Amino acid sequence: MALFAFSVAPLGAGESVTDQVAKAVKIVRDSGLPNRTDAMFTTIEGEWDECMDVIKRASEVVGEGGARVSLVIKADIRPVHTGELDGKVERVERVLDTSS
């Protein structure tokens, strides 16, 4: 299992890339993989191959009609660990709660 945080955007698409990024996020959400999107990245959790397939399809849809795509990926690969999309955050929150 792994967490993949990625950011994908078309290059040369003008000031706003919202429409293209929304298409990528839809692919992620339709994949059925656990996911979270924030202002900078979309994070998905799953097996290596299934996550990379989603990232590839998201990159392809962002690149439709354009010449280039920017893709940044950060991965936390942890075999046999599941639920880390929430688990990592919950552990930090517990520490913060006990240190107040």
Q: Virtual CA dihedral for 70, 88, 2, 27, nearest 10 degrees? A: -50
The tokens describing 77, both together, are 């690969």
Specify the higher pLDDT residue, 19 or 25. 25
Report the distance separating Cα 91 and Cα 29, nearest Å: 25
Fold of 2-98: Alpha-Beta Plaits (3.30.70)
Residue 77: the pLDDT is 94
Question: In the chain, where are the structural domains located?
Answer: 2-98
Report the distance separating Cα 34 and Cα 4, nearest Å: 11
Reported as a single tens digit per residue, the pLDDT across 23-82 is 999 999 999 999 999 999 999 999 999 999 999 999 999 998 677 999 999 999 988 888
